[in-house]
Each structure stands twice: as C-alpha cells, then as structure tokens.
Structure 1
Amino acid sequence: MLPATMVPGGLSETKPATPEIQHIVDQVKPEFERREKRTYDIFRAIEYKTQVVAGINYFIKVQVSDTDYVHLRVFQALPYEKQGPRLDSYQTGKTRDDPLTYF
C-alpha cells in the first residue's frame, strides 16, 4: 500500500527541496531557458509537491532571482521507462509566498 503522501492523483503536502529535487530542476533548466528565451544565474529549488500518476508529477517552486520565483511541473516517468524528467508546464511571476497548486 502507498503511504498517505503518495495517494494516486492527489498532491502531497509541501516539502522542502532535497538534492534529488535540485537535480531534477537542473535537468529541466535548459528547456525552461529555451522556452523563456533567457538564461538564469539563479535556479534554486525551494520546495515541492508530488502527484502520483503513471510516474510522478513534481510541482517545484524555483527561485530565479532575489525576488522572483517560478513554479515548474515536471513529469518523471516510471524507472523502467528509462527517461529523464520532462518539463510539462510552468508559471512565471511567482513570489516566495505563492502556494504550490495544481496547474
């Protein structure tokens, strides 16, 4: 049975970012920068939520400047599929206090 925080379809509670989450953010940074047509000196994962689907959706708050944040939705396929994380969607113009929600 899955732990309560891993209920399929539901979002987990907000957790502080870990080195694993920062690694995921680092892997999708080039795609984010390509879509935004700019580069970021700061790209630091702050906190995240997960959603179990046929893989895991990560909703990650990322600091991109002293005062600016973005929210990323990154899909990680199941391990046997041997695929890296995929940037599915993002929201810009966020603040440190904006809650992570489904988007």
Structure 2
Amino acid sequence: MHSRCGGTSDAKDANEEVQKICDEIKSHAEDKTERKFDVFTAGSFKTQVVAGTNYFVKVHVGGDDYIHLRIYKSLPHAGSKLELHGVQTSKAHHDPIEYF
C-alpha cells in the first residue's frame, strides 16, 4: 500500500511502528516546542514517499491537546535515520493531518 511519489497517503490509525518512531522523536519535539509531554500517543498518520518516507503523525499529548509531527525516515541504505522536520502545536483531535 504505497502512495504515489510526492502525494500523501490517506490517513490511517497509527501502528506499533509509528508509535516507536514518535517515541524516538519525542525529545526533539519537546525541544522544538519547549514543552514536556507526559502523554505522547500516536493517533493517526499519513505517509509520503520521497527519497525515504515522510510521516505526518497526529500525537495526543494530554487532555484535549494534540500536536502534528513531520518526521523524515531515510532509506535503509542511508541508515534509516529519523529526523523531526516540523511540529504544529495547538491541534485538536478532529483537526485533519495536512502536509506542512
């Protein structure tokens, strides 16, 4: 189930792989937002296949508060490294995940 190159996939419920990616990137998100998150649960996500994969993830960070993350995962031959490329704060559960 791959999206066409450049376009984002439909939103899907987060799975264990996406939660692990969020767990690895959490400290970077905290640095970027200058906040500490007690809760950091991936809700839904979209992917975009580029030279690697962009993950756009809606993350529950406590109460009614959500943030959206853009995480880049390089190709396996490049080490499958994760980089946090963007954070959108002050999101709600019903806010759609958009490309940013």
TM interval, shorter chain, is: over 0.9
Deviation at 1:37, TM superposition (A): 1.8
User: Which residues of structure 1 form unaligned runs of 5+?
Assistant: none
Deviation at 1:90, TM superposition (A): 1.0
CA contact (8 A) 2:67 2:91 kept: yes
Instruction: Give secondary structure in 2 for the equivalent of 1:29.
Output: helix
User: Which residues of structure 2 form unaligned runs of 5+?
Assistant: none
What does residue 93 of structure 2 align with?
96
User: What CA distance in whole angstroms lies between the structure 2 residues aligned with 1:100 and 1:34?
Assistant: 22
What does residue 55 of structure 2 align with?
58
User: What CA distance in whole angstroms lies between the structure 1 residues aligned with 2:67 and 2:98?
Assistant: 12
User: What CA distance in whole angstroms lies between the structure 2 residues aligned with 1:40 and 1:7?
Assistant: 34
TM-score by length of 1: 0.93
Matched, 1:19 2:8: no
What does residue 47 of structure 1 align with?
44
Instruction: Give secondary structure in 2 for the equivalent of 1:99.
Output: coil
- Count of equivalent residues: 100
TM-score by length of 2: 0.96
CA contact (8 A) 2:54 2:71 kept: yes
CA contact (8 A) 2:44 2:57 kept: yes
- Runs of 4+ with deviation above 4 angstroms: none
Structure 2 residue identity aligned to 1:68: D
User: What CA distance in whole angstroms lies between the structure 2 residues aligned with 1:102 and 1:40?
Assistant: 23
User: What CA distance in whole angstroms lies between the structure 1 residues aligned with 2:46 and 2:65?
Assistant: 19
What does residue 33 of structure 2 align with?
36
CA contact (8 A) 2:8 2:47 kept: yes
The percent of aligned pairs where both chains have the same amino acid is: 43
